[in-house]
């Protein structure tokens, strides 16, 4: 721990370290050695402790510094894929540009490049006649969907485990005279 943060117990520090793996408090509590049965509640409670929240924040900042991976950088890369223009792969005559001539935004949208040698003739007369290049592009639709989720344009469907047509609120009507006697009408 750095800074003015309180010293954590070994188990709490383990929770912090495990939480950074997937940002799932329940799984982090389990991996830190808490009971699987109570891990959900314990994970929730641990996240509310100021010293643990501070330790998580410091650890995330340290990781960001070490790796250079920030939310802004991830979003910039996502935008490069989402707004990729395939015309930038070709010259004015429609020939693929050498990969070394692609701008950074275009290159960032490429997942891979396959190069195939082409030959003419056979046997001793066989000669290299050229290359076929195939660019593999990252999925633009997935990038756009992820960007839309980040911006709140798409909402994840939450499964509440209700039966089809079920509701969250159950309303029962009781006849006025029978309510006082503890009887209900169904």
Query: What is the domain-level CATH number for residue 19?
Result: 1.10.10.1400
- Can you give the pLDDT at residue 2? 46
- Whole-Å CA distances, 95 to 85, 88, 120: 15, 11, 21
Classify residue 98: in a domain, yes or no.
yes
Q: Quick one: 47 and 83 in the same domain?
A: no
- Say if 103 falls within a structural domain: yes
Whole-number pLDDT of residue 154: 82
pTM: 0.56
Q: How confident is the model at residue 126, as a pLDDT?
A: 92
pLDDT of 78: 94
Residues 81, 60 within the same domain: no
Residue 104's domain comprises: 76-142
Structural domain contains residue 171: no
Give residue 166's pLDDT.
65
Work out whether strand 127-137 and strand 110-120 pair parallel, antiparallel, or are unpaired.
antiparallel
| 3-state SS, residue 82 | helix
pLDDT for position 160: 66
Element (H, E) at 129: strand 127-137
The Cα–Cα gap between 66 and 28 comes to 22
Q: Which residues of the chain have pLDDT under 70?
A: 1-5, 158-161, 165-172, 174-186
| Residue ending a domain, choose from 44, 68, 92 | 68
Q: Could you give the number of structural domains in the chain?
A: 2
pLDDT value for 152: 84
Question: DSSP for 5-51?
Answer: PPPPPHHHHHHHHHHHHHS-HHHHHHHTT--TTTHHHHHHHHHHSHH
């Amino acid at each position: 721990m750095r800074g003015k943060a309180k010293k954590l117990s070994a188990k709490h520090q383990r929770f912090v370290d495990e939480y950074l793996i997937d940002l799932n408090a329940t799984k982090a509590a389990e991996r830190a050695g808490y009971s699987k049965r109570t891990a959900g509640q314990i994970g929730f409670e641990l996240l509310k402790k100021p010293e643990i929240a501070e330790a998580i924040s410091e650890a995330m900042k340290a990781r960001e510094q070490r790796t250079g991976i920030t939310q802004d950088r991830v979003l910039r890369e996502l935008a490069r894929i989402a707004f990729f223009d395939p015309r930038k792969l070709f010259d004015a005559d429609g020939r693929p540009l050498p990969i070394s001539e692609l701008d950074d935004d275009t290159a960032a949208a490429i997942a891979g490049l396959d190069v195939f040698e082409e030959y003419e003739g056979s046997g001793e007369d066989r000669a290299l006649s050229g290359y076929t290049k195939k660019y593999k592009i990252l999925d633009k639709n997935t990038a756009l969907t992820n960007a839309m989720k980040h911006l709140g344009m798409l909402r994840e469907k939450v499964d509440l485990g209700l039966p089809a047509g079920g509701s969250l609120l159950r309303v029962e009507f009781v006849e006025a005279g029978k309510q006082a006697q503890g009887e209900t009408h169904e």
